[in-house]
Chain A
Amino acid sequence: MYFKKSMRNTAIPYLFIIPSAILIAAIDLYPIISGIIDSFLNINLFINRPIKFIGFENFINLFKDRLFGIAFYKSIIWTITILAGEMIIGFFIAWLLNRDIKGRKFFRLMVLIPWVIPNAIAGIIWKWIYAEQYGLLNYSLSKLGIISNYKSWLGSSNIAFWAILTVALWKAIPFVVLVILAAMQSISKDQYEAAEVDGANEIQKFFHITLPSIKNITIIVAILTSIWNFNQFEIIQVTTRGGPGTATLTMPIFSYELFLQSFQVSYASSAATIMLIIMIVPMYIYIKNVMAEK
């Protein structure tokens, strides 16, 4: 909905845009670019030395770095598992909520709760639940007879990874439910009724009507949440800080360690730049789909 041609004037739109454009250039684009430039330098705050351009040395070192390999691998497993989990569970809950039921609002509200808790706080709550001695989880499971001995949930690398992943999943599902449910509700009832006349069952209806109608929004939500999950820092930082061992060492935690715990600014920047490169393709697909949605 644009003004008619006569109402337009070439300079006016820019006047509206400029404050925001200048601000975004200054606080978003400039830092991003300077971060990329930093990754080709040799800044290390714990070493007094002249700053100079060292080409791809940081990147070459990263690819030789065992920890980087681990962080990369963990991040990929982390992101893909959460994506699969949030999609399957999210779709299932959305589908349940989309049925003809009473109290939908109430159930929906309950499911949305994890979404509104700040990430860092969610981490703290779960850390307390996972606590070995006074934690709720050990107590409940042993009361129910599922475990006979208190487990150290964050104390072994296998369990810790999945335990923290569960927290992230718990935080991620509600958003998927919210969006998918809204999309499902916008599908017209007629299509379903027509299918019912043809004798289609629930599963057929889901795959032949629901899924195709919300394909675009599904792709958007999948990519968006994956980008978020890939960058998940808060939950891991407040619970395990990447440990025990390297159990939860994902790329954001790894970059943070390089940056704020060992102050290798340039090396950390190059790790962050690689994260950016990994996200280019998903971002491209995301933008394409968002533009198409309009």
Chain B
Amino acid sequence: MSESNIIIREKTTETARFEESDADLIRRVREGERSAFNQLVVKYRNRVMGLAVRMLGDRGEAEDVAQDVFVKAYRGLSGFQEEALFSTWLYRIAANSCLNHRKRIRLQPAVSADVSALELRFPDMASNPHVLLEEKQLKLLIEEAIQALPEEQRIVVILRDIEGLSYEAIADALEQELGTVRSRLHRGRMALQERLKRLMTPEPRGSVNV
């Protein structure tokens, strides 16, 4: 075996490890390799965090809940069925955690605080300030509109249009009928669009009932 072949093989192994599937990572965790779970946390932390912030409207609480989601996932990993998708399972834990947290503290959406919290996290956007400002404003507006959605529509819209889950995966994660997911998504989108339309009108912001 030549030296170049060895190098190629090492690179292939590295690439394979970099692209390691959830199933492989889970197997390693089950074999006692804790660091493999950290890779899963890194891979999914933004998605869980996004769901938590948009569902709870408070960054600090969201971060705490998101951490707990991963702790629950770690503890429940032994009961995780191999044939299921880890992401769907994780979203189920996250959705339940957020909804339970809201029930527990009876958190009311505090729109202005939410949006400012989100705004702080937006990365810098490149060169044309006018276009970027418009995009940034639009995003803030729609984040605001999301916060105003009823909880059951909001979570479906987040999972479908922000996180990109299929209807079936959402039904699985939320343990709902497919028809329920379909109707809640449609009503949520239409409500968002209506709200966005009103927010984008040149009326003074004070008249907007958010």
A binds B: no
